[in-house]
Structure 1
Amino acid sequence: MLVLSRRVGESIVIGEDVTVTVLDVRGDVVRVGINAPRSVTVHREELLRELEETNRAAASASEDAVASLAARLSKRPD
């Protein structure tokens, strides 16, 4: 992991087309601005993690529903 110190108004450039700028620092909160092409997805880590957990839970529920349906269908008289 690269660790840098930046002051308000200073930026770092990632690749050729992503710029991260420190906008404000208040106590232990840092506001950053990210300038990137629309093709680059930018997510807050905690929201991405939550989305992944939600997707896993939904997939698990779907698998349970499919298994339950399959069991009911196998017991169904012809």
Structure 2
Amino acid sequence: MLILTRKLGEAIRIGDDIEVKIVGIAGDQIKLGISAPRDIDVNRAEIYEAIQKENSQATQADLSEELISELKAMKREKK
């Protein structure tokens, strides 16, 4: 992990396309401004994790439905 110290108004660059800027400081919170191309998703960590969990559950449900369909098709073929 890279740890940097930045002041209000200062920024960091990630590659050529992403800039993270300190836009506000209030007590123990900071406000970040993130400039990135539209095709790059930028989410808070807890939102990202929730999306990943939902995608995993959806994939498992799709696989279960597909397996059930295949088993039913195999059962019909035996008749």
Length-normalised TM-score, structure 1: 0.74
CA shift, 1:47, in A, is 2.0
- Corresponding position of 1:10: 10
Percent identity among equivalent residues?
Answer: 31
Count of matched residue positions in the alignment of Structure 1 and Structure 2: 77
- Corresponding position of 2:70: 70
| Letter paired with 1:9 | G
- Corresponding position of 1:28: 28
Helix, strand or coil for the counterpart of 1:58? helix
Work out the CA distance in 1 between the residues paired with 2:61 and 2:75: 21
Structure 2 gaps of 5+ residues are none
Deviation digits for residues 18-60 of structure 1 (CA, Å, limit 9, x no counterpart): 3211011223322101123335x14223222221211111110
1:52 aligns with 2:52: yes
Length-normalised TM-score, structure 2: 0.74
Work out the CA distance in 2 between the residues paired with 1:24 and 1:34: 13
Helix, strand or coil for the counterpart of 1:7? coil
